[in-house]
Structure 1
Amino acid sequence: MTITAGKKREKLDRLAELAARDDEQGVSLWKEAFRRLRRNPAAIIGAVILALFVLVAVVGPFFVPYGPTDAIGIREGLVKSGQGLIPGSSGDHWLGFDHQGRDEFSRMIVGARQTLLVGVASTLIGLAIGALVGGVAGAAAGLGGRWGRWVDNTLMRFVDMLLAMPSLLLAVSIAALLGASLVTVMIAVGVVSVPVFARLLRGSMISQSNSDYVLAATSLGVKKPKIALTHVIPNSIAPVIVQATLTLATAIIEAAALSFLGLGNPDSATPEWGVMLADAQPYLGIRPGLAIYPALAIIITALGFTLLGEAMREALDPKLRK
């Protein structure tokens, strides 16, 4: 009897030790995702690019050597308006001048802030509206019943109408109706991204509504609206956050496209990479750098958001983990 009791006690101690070890090793979804991101080279490269971009956009304008609207080149006699002579880079002016004698390097640094502002604001607009529409539709679909299906079908048909139009054409139409301005670009690009967030959140919520914890909460008598708000939505928001990172890259490109088409800020004196790219078109033959610099900045910034967003999706989605 003593030997048997001792063996049982040893077995129980062993099980307790293993359970404690599992508790120590167990981590949350976000901690596990962060651990995977740290081991992903693409995520590191994307994070470094974005960190440099944000640092330049936030801090850079306070340390630019010249004002972005100062016609330094004309005042110094280096740029003569109407003669087609635009000097290139030099020791004092690293990227040279633009066609109006303004320091190109200073305008690139200040333009980063405008580009970041447009990208973040438009993404937040699309995320807020899309999450609202998708959350209501997903909750209605999960509630079931005639009214729930009617609300879900109505909202999704509206979203399908937005998806039926090409994104750039829809953005151009909205910008043309509202008039050229920086706020118009934010609204136009934000509206374009609404269907993506709405359908993604709705699909995630419908998938979560079939989980065991929803069945358990329903069995305990918890009302379905409370289940949707306190359980389903928090567990469905992760893919939406990842999509927001990817949408930032698209938002920056589409905002630059609208500015390039003349639907952005009508005041070209305010530096913004899309506007700078448009202003450089007549001078490609004599100063191609005026178009290359903002184009490269847009491409590299969008690449950073894309790399980080794809790495986050792989880290958070079990089907895509390597």
Structure 2
Amino acid sequence: MTLASGQKKEKLDRLGELAAVRDDEQGVSLWRDAFRRLRRNPAAIVGAIILALFVLVAIVGPFLVPYDPAAPIGVQDGVVRSGQGIIPGPSSDHWLGYDHQGRDEFSRLIAGSRQTLIVGVVSTLIGLTVGVLLGGLSGAAAGLGGRWGRWVDNILMRIVDMLLSVPGLLLAVSFAAILGPSPITVMIAVGAVSVPIFARLLRGSMIAQSNRDYVLAATSLGVRRWKIAISHVIPNSLAPVIVQATLTLATAIIEVAALSFLGLGTQVLGQPEWGLMLAEAQQYLGIRPALAIYPAVAIIITAFGFTLLGEAMREALDPKLRK
């Protein structure tokens, strides 16, 4: 009895040692592990700081600007005569000087960030929503839908292929030209460009997930295929789509500025918007090239921040790219 008790105690001690796992070796969820990797990535930190500043300026900045962005202060004071080549530069009262109509350039640059943020985010949400609906339906039909599901998948993917065959900016310009120039038109046009990207990405991710063991186990237990797709496959397939949404925001901001530059954006007189400011400055490059440099640098830095964060998220969530 004593020997048996000793062996039993020794076996329990070994099991206890195997079960005692250090905290840093315990399993964590995908998102928690990705967040931990993001905190250690300098590119992710820089991108997050740029985006935080951009969002803060866009939300709070228009309430704190020193001058009305639509009021021609310089013309009233007689210091701006763009027709005679006189547009004053930075000063203690006007940090970035005046624009060609005598408006405070710094106030317009800050106020224009809100319009850029709203149009960029809404257009990305439009593309993400429609793309997830198409891609989710197509992926569920292809991976779990049987014969009729393959027909649905083929029809939806041919529609997506037609959208992909047209260059993105040309498709956005076509939408904007048909619907007429307005901020809503720009949102729809830029959102339509990103729909096939999200749809294709989610479909591919769902097809990969549909071959996993947990799908086979749920199917063997008699769980309906559409319930498996909605409850398990789609949630597990959204990680690359969320990463792509962050990268698409950078592209959306550039495309929004491009459409505004072409005159298809906002038509409200005096309303600041970075792309429109860039377009208006083209006539005065010989007088004050800084009027084009300010909004261009703002667009580049903002898109760069979204790109840095998106690439860092892709690296953190993709096992093949983890360091």
Shorter-chain TM-score bucket reads over 0.9
Q: CA deviation at 1:268?
A: 4.4
Amino acid at match of 1:10: E
Amino acid at match of 1:21: V
d(CA) in 2 for partners of 1:7 and 1:45? 57
* 2:166 matched residue in structure 1: 165
* 1:291 matched residue in structure 2: 292
Mapped pair 1:6 → 2:6 = yes
Mapped pair 1:309 → 2:313 = no
Is the CA contact (8 Å cut-off) linking 1:268 and 1:275 kept in structure 2? no
Is the CA contact (8 Å cut-off) linking 1:96 and 1:104 kept in structure 2? yes
Cα deviation 1:4-24 (Å, max 9, x = unaligned) = 543443333333343342677
d(CA) in 2 for partners of 1:179 and 1:108? 25
Cα deviation 1:172-210 (Å, max 9, x = unaligned) = 011000000011000000000000000000000000000
d(CA) in 2 for partners of 1:26 and 1:16? 18
* 1:67 matched residue in structure 2: 68
Q: How many residues align?
A: 322
Q: Give the TM-score taking structure 2 as reference length.
A: 0.97
d(CA) in 2 for partners of 1:143 and 1:22? 40
d(CA) in 2 for partners of 1:12 and 1:236? 41
Q: CA deviation at 1:240?
A: 0.4
Note the 1:54-93 alignment, pairs <5 A.
54-93=55-94
Q: CA deviation at 1:143?
A: 2.2
Q: CA deviation at 1:149?
A: 0.6
Provide the identity percentage. Answer: 78
* 1:37 matched residue in structure 2: 38
d(CA) in 2 for partners of 1:289 and 1:47? 27
d(CA) in 2 for partners of 1:201 and 1:16? 43
Is the CA contact (8 Å cut-off) linking 1:74 and 1:81 kept in structure 2? no
Cα deviation 1:87-115 (Å, max 9, x = unaligned) = 00000000000000000000000000000
What runs of 5+ residues in structure 2 fail to find an aligned partner? none
Q: CA deviation at 1:76?
A: 1.4
Cα deviation 1:118-147 (Å, max 9, x = unaligned) = 110000000000000000000101224221
d(CA) in 2 for partners of 1:272 and 1:120? 15
What runs of 5+ residues in structure 1 fail to find an aligned partner? none
- Would you identify which runs of 4 or more consecutive aligned residues in structure 1 move more than 6 Å? none
* 2:211 matched residue in structure 1: 210
RMSD: 1.3
Where 2:83 maps in the other structure, the secondary structure is coil
Cα deviation 1:140-164 (Å, max 9, x = unaligned) = 0122422101100000000000000
* 1:244 matched residue in structure 2: 245
Q: CA deviation at 1:266?
A: 1.4
